[in-house]
Structure 1
């Protein structure tokens, strides 16, 4: 075996503490890369169900798949950058500490290429152990998480991670390690062996000299004391280390803040309330129009209200129609939408905007006041043009621009018998009396952009609809919701398409579905935080190694140990402050992108709100962590005596 290759294990053992951090960073990076691929594949598995549908469903599924693939690649690049930043810093400091040893090897006959082989060989040996370990932890750990928390679907579990994904993750990590190790080895090749052997050579590697007047700085920043000014000066001495460290910490801040903001949008309680509109929902899963006894009639409503423990009921009629004969209420986006969904070549058919009409009791209309944007909630049921309440541009569709007094011509079809034959309704004219900010009716179709609300009497008078498709039930606080649901279940089962939904079951179901998302996102962000912590730890170690002689001189001319310690701690805090400022800006941008991407699925006409609590919490935690991590480096700087520090033999 080549004698230089035989030196690699010795160096690995000699620098085992720092190599442990390299190994930890590599394992974390592999797990993160696998986690990204698993998340993307699981989403694509769900979207694939619709991928073979025709029309807009297929296009929507393909767009989602493309978006998730792009997001996955972006996250993989972020992970690779973070890995490069950490591993580079560690290899740089280990190379720096061995400058004298490497220089002596060159003097006695070794080539610079052999030194490069030695450094790269260390990286290679670490990677061939850590990459398989990371792949095993990532693949089996995340698969187990999916299996126990969300799905036992064997086909889905098989597709969570493929051989291609494993190879891709391994290649990206290998490239990251090679880039991280190659730069320090290349820098070593530029050092003169004679200079490298000198005892004080390490103290000359402080980066480029800066024209930096300490007294001038203190005059500009009156609030800075001497240790503050020295901390600022020291961070400017090596821009490369400053950029790498701040970048690593910034990535951690942005990913953590974005993950927490995204998780704040997954609100199981809120989503369950939208799905039920109360504690219990009785509904019909297949709309049958005018077919007798397909939905809940007045006798059913009396039975429901007679059950002990029910506090309140809200009954709704419902029918899907189209608004026709006018384009004036459509925005340009609305016109394009109608053209995309129209299957007819007739121009009049391309003007038909889908709309859902809900009927409500007069007593419920009064509860809509908090939602009122403009107009009056007083509805007229018996004129030639009955009035309705409009809720438009739901889920941020921005298809219509209805206003008060607008006349709407509504048409549609209904099933006139159990065989499913369709007959057209007589066209009806409605006048918009009020516009609401958001919908008070729950639940509604997630793809609906506009709904009209009128009285139940109006739907009976103009369309002949006598039965109720939805009944929202509120349970008294002293009653047991599951006991009441058993009584209601018999009423739901008496209908061919009757269904009962309990809010507690919906919350449990959504919590289970969101569990993996929470685990992956929080795990992803926490692992990146660990990577950032390792990076700042090594940055401060490099700083102490390179400036040990400087610290000795400062102490010799009168600087106390406490002042030296304070100066180094403030340097660490400065890294935290700089990364917090940059991270704040990027976190706001990332949160807004997430808001725009996810608002149609999880929000209803809600404006973007800056996540101040999340941002301030992460920033404060970042500064505290960087300050605490600086303590070991600060103690190390004053461990030696003044004479030993000035000699600075590393």
Structure 2
């Protein structure tokens, strides 16, 4: 080891605090990259296993191929493994006890297919000949037919034929039976008698859902058993899995006359290969942004650390230059420092990242399996590629971080370094400040501002650290909000715990029962909502939602005289519940109950899945304004008559965020919600006799299980009570798991940024001991010194926010555009998070400045003036 490297190691040992902060920052950075790549590999592995459990381990399925076509598929250059299967047909299950599953579905698999379709044998063995079968355990448990291993069964196997009015034909629908009214409208035709020996019992395969019309029976087949005119299904695993699979497979099918090709989209998606998948594009875009955030934050921290190191070592680097050290030696001393930091930090970061994910997954595995209904455990998967990728990213991060400081170190001249004039250059123009600063804030503020201008590089390094911190926090905060928004748009998550259905309108419900329920000890919130049957209203073209306006351009026939007929979800609340709701949204209650004409609150938010755009969309449901009136009509489902309601309804308020308990957003583009009082609906309906409405009670409870018991005890029919608490528990567990990963990520990001700020500011303050000593020597009091430090903190905060907030908005908008592949909603700013950031910036800077300045405040003036380095 040469003398320069020895001196570098000595400097690292002498500046233990800065070295430790740098090492910790790099370890966190490496751990985060490791955690992201490991978690990604682990989840992809889990999802692949789940996809295989659901649909089998195959990539391409060629339907109904002949023996000759099968030969061509097997000899294709891209084919790795081929296994065959075929549907033999359906047979009636004699003595079956479940009318929803009257059939057996007989299929044939070859030996490889039994493995690749994840058939789980409970007892016995798998069939080896076409005369042997394994049966689903559900035939015994759910169907009530006591079949046994060794028993021989005779089945009449054929096709399911249905006839409903003039519609008839063969159905292979494996999801439901065909009914005509309440009667089964199908039977088995074209039957062939087959005799099978039961040799094993299997768990019900995943395609045999609870609502499937048939239980599974599997027999054996082989290529040798296929006749010249018979057809089978050929499932293929390809050699090289890439996007060319789609074109190649379709071309192969076209070349050899194969009519139908099916791709295992779910499995291919989790291998990162899917054709035209918006969700995949969204995921890749977001992961790319997250990795970029980690790298930028890490580069910021490490770069500042090495820049500070070079600044601290500038005098000794100049002395080395004076005794003959070359530019290359000085530059390599900084690279050597980076290598030393990397050698310590990268292995520890890898261990910390993998260990952290392993511990997290072991603690959350039970919850994940329960929430996501997983059949397999989520195990930590560490691939060589993920480790190599992490090391490469970490090495590049360190190299980028040390490049500029190393370049700067090589250019340090002996005279400038010894005189210490490189960083601080006093020129009138450079340190000029506005006269208003002294006038408004005093001389301490002016000195503080001049200090920042004199130490331009250190000042900019600190500002850069703060800006990065602001951007990281706001970006992750917005990312979290985007995940919640996506979950909200794609799932119905009721706020209530219990609902009670009444086949009565609000006039028929016993009010004493309602008041009794309100008095339950555990009931924290409650709503009674009355629903009409079918209410519609015409809305002018100019008032339509954006999606309907777009659609009307392509389909003008959807408009009638320039108007569109909306479905309107009219919800009537009890006066007490309505009053509580309007107080929450700051709306006057009086016009809703005392107006001489019908009035309503318009809830004007709608989210739905747009089939054409292949994304979730959120928009204003209708462009009605406060004061607008709309005429409504009622469709009686029983008499099939349409009634024009007595008066127009006036919109007196509009709401887009908060709905009453029990009401949820519209889920199609031609619908909006009106909330009304009893008195308004009575004015609206007039003399029309409406008997088709129903009422629902929605309850939030601190103890839902006890509340259900209390409801049953006062005579509420058990069948009319729906306890959604259990399903909500799963949703809450999912959000908890999501929160662990998201907020764990935020915590690590925060550690990087806070250590970055602490390292930069504290070192900067420590390097200014001579400056502070000089100020004290000319009469600056401790009070004035504190005042100067406070103003410097304010200047740091203001400037960092001026840069950080606009950059954050740009990055947030990029995330918004990334989610737009799958979700369409208006861009918004997280004002609460922005407020937290503004307070946090001044708080963090202030605390670090005060902490660092307290270390030099008691410094002896003479010692401080003699100080040349920390």
Is it true that 1:210 corresponds to 2:436 in the alignment? no
Match of 1:18 in 2: 18
Match of 2:464 in 1: 247
Residue 446 of structure 1: how far off its partner (Å): 5.9
Match of 1:182 in 2: 403
Give the TM-score normalised by the residue count of structure 2.
0.54
Given that residues 295 and 397 in structure 2 are in contact (C-alpha distance below 8 angstroms), is that contact kept between their aligned partners in structure 1? yes
Residue 26 of structure 1: how far off its partner (Å): 1.0
Match of 1:472 in 2: 698
Stretches of structure 1 lacking an aligned partner (at least 5 in a row): 54-58, 284-294, 381-385, 417-423
Residue 113 of structure 1: how far off its partner (Å): 2.3
Residue 245 of structure 1: how far off its partner (Å): 1.0
Match of 2:195 in 1: none
Q: Higher helix proportion, which one?
A: 1
Aligned partner of 2:344 among 129, 132, 156: 129
Aligned partner of 1:91 among 300, 306, 320: 306
| Cα 1:243/1:174, change in 2 over 3 Å | same
Aligned partner of 2:631 among 407, 421, 430: 407
Is it true that 1:648 corresponds to 2:868 in the alignment? yes
Is it true that 1:500 corresponds to 2:718 in the alignment? no
Which residues in structure 2 correspond to 1:285-300 (within 5 Å)? 296=503
Residue 315 of structure 1: how far off its partner (Å): 4.8
Given that residues 592 and 600 in structure 2 are in contact (C-alpha distance below 8 angstroms), is that contact kept between their aligned partners in structure 1? yes
Which residues in structure 2 correspond to 1:510-589 (within 5 Å)? 511-540=732-761, 542-543=763-764, 547-551=768-772, 553-554=774-775, 567=788, 570-572=791-793, 574-580=795-801, 582-583=803-804
Structure 2 Cα separation of the partners of residues 543 and 513 of structure 1 = 45
Given that residues 4 and 114 in structure 1 are in contact (C-alpha distance below 8 angstroms), is that contact kept between their aligned partners in structure 2? yes
Given that residues 423 and 456 in structure 2 are in contact (C-alpha distance below 8 angstroms), is that contact kept between their aligned partners in structure 1? no
Deviates more, 1:544-553 or 1:152-161: 152-161
Match of 2:605 in 1: 394
Given that residues 321 and 357 in structure 1 are in contact (C-alpha distance below 8 angstroms), is that contact kept between their aligned partners in structure 2? yes
Q: Deviations over 1:462-498 (max 9, x none)?
A: 8863555x332477x9xx6532313547967636xx7
Give the TM-score normalised by the residue count of structure 1.
0.69
Residue 326 of structure 1: how far off its partner (Å): 6.9
Is it true that 1:485 corresponds to 2:702 in the alignment? no
Which residues in structure 2 correspond to 1:341-356 (within 5 Å)? 355=567
Is it true that 1:138 corresponds to 2:362 in the alignment? no
| Cα 1:488/1:68, change in 2 over 3 Å | farther
Structure 2 Cα separation of the partners of residues 216 and 389 of structure 1 = 60
Residue 460 of structure 1: how far off its partner (Å): 13
Q: Deviations over 1:385-441 (max 9, x none)?
A: x979573531462242346443356779x8x9xxxxxxx955554564133523436
Given that residues 405 and 432 in structure 1 are in contact (C-alpha distance below 8 angstroms), is that contact kept between their aligned partners in structure 2? yes
Structure 1 Cα separation of the partners of residues 509 and 474 of structure 2 = 48
Match of 1:383 in 2: none
Given that residues 310 and 473 in structure 1 are in contact (C-alpha distance below 8 angstroms), is that contact kept between their aligned partners in structure 2? no
Match of 1:305 in 2: 513
Q: Higher strand proportion, which one?
A: 2
| Cα 1:483/1:328, change in 2 over 3 Å | same
Structure 1 Cα separation of the partners of residues 592 and 363 of structure 2 = 50
Structure 2 Cα separation of the partners of residues 72 and 557 of structure 1 = 55
Q: Deviations over 1:362-393 (max 9, x none)?
A: 7679647667699975799xxxxx97957353
Equivalenced residues, count = 596
Which residues in structure 2 correspond to 1:445-460 (within 5 Å)? 445=665, 447=667, 450-452=672-674
Match of 1:191 in 2: 412
Structure 1 Cα separation of the partners of residues 818 and 566 of structure 2 = 24
Aligned partner of 1:282 among 483, 500, 518: 500
Q: CA RMSD in A?
A: 5.8
> Greater Rg, structure 1 or structure 2?
2
Aligned partner of 1:434 among 637, 642, 650: 650
Residue 22 of structure 1: how far off its partner (Å): 0.9
| Cα 1:531/1:443, change in 2 over 3 Å | same
| Cα 1:164/1:323, change in 2 over 3 Å | farther
Structure 1 Cα separation of the partners of residues 594 and 280 of structure 2 = 45
Structure 2 Cα separation of the partners of residues 182 and 314 of structure 1 = 68
Given that residues 85 and 180 in structure 1 are in contact (C-alpha distance below 8 angstroms), is that contact kept between their aligned partners in structure 2? yes
Residue 598 of structure 1: how far off its partner (Å): 10
Residue 186 of structure 1: how far off its partner (Å): 0.8
| Cα 1:601/1:626, change in 2 over 3 Å | farther
Given that residues 84 and 180 in structure 1 are in contact (C-alpha distance below 8 angstroms), is that contact kept between their aligned partners in structure 2? yes
Residue 90 of structure 1: how far off its partner (Å): 1.9
